[in-house]
Structure 1
Amino acid sequence: MLRVDFSGRELARLRMARSVDPLWEIALSLHMLQTRQAALVFDPWRREVHGALERSGLTAAVRGLMLLCPPAAYFPDFLTPGGEPDLDTGLEKVMSTPRQRLAAELSRLYAGAPLPSGVRRLAEGSPEALRWLGTALRRYYTVAVEPYLPAIRTEAAADRSERAEAALTGGAEGLLASYGVLPEWRCEGTALRAPYPMDREIRLDGRTLTLVPGFFCVRAPLALADDELPPVLVHPLSPAPGWLERSRPSESTPPAAQLIGTSRAQLLGLLDRPMTTTGLAAALDLAPSTTSRHTSVLREAGLLTSRRSGLCVLHRRTPLGEALLEGALR
């Protein structure tokens, strides 16, 4: 069980990451490839990625990455430096990890056992090994994560809208309580309890805890092993079964897209639950100004409603919008 007890000051400083972290998604997806967790949800992705890795000639490189990132209670913190919104900056931080830290974390990973030769060279800080690591992580990302970014961003944006609404209506306590709806997670006043491979307490000591959504995270959260690092808690987005099929573009243009355009039809389709303009823009990879124009047109057509909640505007699909998406309009 994982325990996080917040003081009033620490609770007020609780923050959400803007979206998924590319390096956490790399690590989490590597875990998923090595297990059968959430088979109904992720097996179609596993089959697709295994085939793509083989066609790309990346199978051996990914086996090397798995030696660094096993689905165990511990894997090295330097692989997920955090706080970097883009892959390039994150990879630069990984490749700049000091030799002393590489040696300490990789030795902990193998707990006194002999290090495999490639891992040993990395632990020694070999520039060639670090370049290999950066290249392998980037190539793996382009095959196993990047093609699925539309679905990942959609889930992350919907989650952020839900958390933002909880924070606007209930403050920091409301934001914390919103995580209590996750399976086996509990919020007890200003304390958070979650499933974890071992008993562990995250001591904040006045620091800010950042909550990071994880698409490939299943049930239990993940936290950095080193308590001296800025505290992070990665929580599951829990995509529903069939997410991969639903993310594929239809071979024929849906009736709603024929009537209102593809982007507006996609926007309307995202509103299974209320979302902010910012969340919609992130999910659709559009500029906020463009998204705002789309919501204005849809609102004037009676297909969605917009309501201000604190500093945000939440958009909801109307029954007319539902009917349009379902093709019930004639």
Structure 2
Amino acid sequence: MLRIDLTAEDMTRLRVPGRPDPLWDTVLSLHLLQNRQSALAFDPWRRQVRRRIAAAGLTSTVTALARLAPWASYFPDFLTPSPADVPDLDAGVDRVLSTPRRRMTRELARTYPAGGPAWVRRVARGEAAAMRWLGSALRRYHAVAVGPYLPWTGAAVAADQGARDAALRRGGVHAMLGSFDPLLRRDGASWVGSYPVTRTVPLRGRPLTVVPSFFCVLEPVVLADDDLDPVLVHPVDPAPGWLARGGPGDDGRGERLPVAQLIGPTRARALALLDRCRTTSELAAALDLTPATASRHATVLREAGLVVSRREGNRVLHSRTRLGSALLAGQLP
């Protein structure tokens, strides 16, 4: 579980830039290439990007970047500098390359306790050639995996920001924080949400920057180092079938989404029941299944981006996403 304690003063210091961060999008999209999360929304993107990577001769470069930013419980914080210092990709890459050598060495040692490959050690030492490679690799990967999709990702972020702004106008900061439910919810003076490990983010009077990311899925992400300025990156739901409707490289036929492989009759019934939050036990009872079987179905739906889940005490609550509702209504192409 993730917990962020927010005093009244902390809420006045919140930073909500309402724009994607190029380095966070770069790293989180790299993670999506290493997993199968939100398959319904992102498998068409994965297929296109892998083709683009191969065509650009970047396969080995992207493989190396993925080892530098692994999809794991920890990846180096220096790859995602403070959003306040990153107005664009070039500024972000410059910030990455200017990371103090001691910090870079420490974070890469945490990623690779046994030392890692020779090229990782060269990056950790801040060798000039390794830094040139890293800067070039980040820019070239962004150019094939993130940049071509900015019209779509930017529109999704703008829609998300519109919802936050509307909540802020309607009921102030408390309503804006409440608009993140069920991803993040208020628990007394804290903001809590699902997280792979138990994690409390101390603010210590520092402003919390809340960053939207199209490539962040299922759960928010925070920096590992509590001494860095606190950042919370949260998922932005993609528009249903976003890449199937004329995305970059589309040949007019669109990418076909693997709906038939995902939705069987039981999962379709589960999705229909999740128009409101239900616990795993409630879902199991409604479907006449064991809790373990219901949990497995919910996991498949969650990994496809159709359901979000959050832990509340000893219960897990599930609800349908916008993409799940669109699929159920037959609104996907």
- State if a TM-score over 0.5 links the two structures: yes
In structure 2, what is the Cα distance between the partners aligned to 1:150 and 1:178? 24
Superimposed CA distance per residue, residues 194-221 of structure 1 (whole angstroms, 9 cap, x where no aligned partner): 1111000011111111110010111111
1:1-330 maps to which residues of 2 (within 5 A)? 1-83=1-83, 84-110=86-112, 112-182=113-183, 185-248=184-247
Cα shift at 1:170: 1.1
Q: 1:247 Cα shift?
A: 4.9
Q: Is the 8 A contact 1:41 1:242 kept in 2?
A: yes
CA distance in 2, matches of 1:114, 1:166: 48
* Structure 2: distance between partners of 1:179 and 1:40: 22
Gaps of 5+ in 1: 253-330
| Ranges of 4+ aligned residues in structure 1 off by more than 6 Å | 249-252
If the length of structure 2 is used for normalisation, what is the TM-score?
0.72
- 1:174-193 alpha-carbon deviations (Å, 9 max, x no partner): 111111143xx322243211
Instruction: Give the SS at the match of 2:4.
Output: strand
Task: Give yes or no for contact 2:65–2:137 (8 Å, CA) kept in 1.
Answer: yes
Larger Rg: 1
Q: Contact 1:34/1:71 (CA < 8 Å) preserved in 2?
A: yes
Native 8 Å contact 1:31 1:70 kept in 2: yes
Three-state SS of the structure 1 residue aligned to 2:244 is helix
Q: Distance in 1 between matches of 2:59 and 2:155?
A: 29
How big is the shift at 1:251? 9.0
Q: How many residues in Structure 1 have an aligned counterpart in Structure 2?
A: 249
Q: CA deviation at 1:57?
A: 0.1
Query: Offset at 1:63?
Result: 0.7
Provide the C-alpha distance between the structure 1 equivalents of 2:240 and 2:176, rounded to a whole number of angstroms: 26
Q: In structure 2, give the amino acid aligned to 1:165.
A: A
More displaced stretch, 21-30 vs 4-13: 4-13
Instruction: Determine the C-alpha separation between the residues in 1 that align with 2:72 and 2:247.
Output: 32
SS of 2:180 mapped into structure 1: helix
* Residues 115 and 94 of structure 1, relative CA distance in 2, 3 Å threshold: same
Q: Distance in 2 between matches of 1:109 and 1:248?
A: 35
Say if 1:61 and 1:136, in contact at 8 Å, map to a contact too: yes
1:89 to partner: Cα distance: 0.5
Partner of 1:310 in structure 2?
A: none
1:143 and 1:188 mapped to 2: Cα distance? 41
Alpha-carbon distance in 1 for matches of 2:156, 2:202? 29
Q: Quote the Cα distance in structure 2 between the aligned partners of 1:85 and 1:229.
A: 18
Q: Name which of structure 1's ranges 188-197 and 20-29 shifts more when overlaid on structure 2.
A: 188-197
Amino acid in the other structure paired with 1:212: V
CA distance in 2, matches of 1:53, 1:36: 18
CA contact (8 A) 2:156 2:239 kept: no
Q: Gaps spanning 5+ residues in structure 2: where?
A: 253-333
Kindly provide the CA deviation profile for residues 77-104 of structure 1, in whole angstroms up to 9, marking residues without a partner as x. 1100022120011111111111111100
Take 2:128 and 2:251, find their aligned partners in 1: how far apart are those partners?
Answer: 47
